Amino acid sequence: MARCMRSMTLHVSITFLFPPAVQVSFYPVSSVEADLRWIPNRHYTGFYPFAKLAFPELLPEWLSRVIVLDADAVLATDIAHLWSQFR
């Protein structure tokens, strides 16, 4: 039940925060955990911040571009400007 409630809360939050044109997907990182555990890290978040190093293995092959932003990143303009640099 608690897991279901967290899932519903996340869905409502994402639906509220992002316009319909924005697609948000989550991918399980457990499949690359063993590949990332060797990285020295004592942070409480464990290996999760390093998951972006495994994006080529985690993300679908059809996905050709990704913008990765840290949780504390603040954009002062439309992110489309950044996206256009990678065309």
Looking at residue 49, its pLDDT comes to: 82
CA distance 23 to 21: 6
The tens place of each residue's pLDDT in the chain, 87 residues long, gives: 555 545 545 555 556 666 677 777 777 888 888 888 888 888 887 778 888 888 888 888 888 888 888 878 888 888 888 888 887
User: Which pLDDT does position 5 carry in this prediction?
Assistant: 47
What is residue 11's predicted lDDT score, i.e. its pLDDT? 55
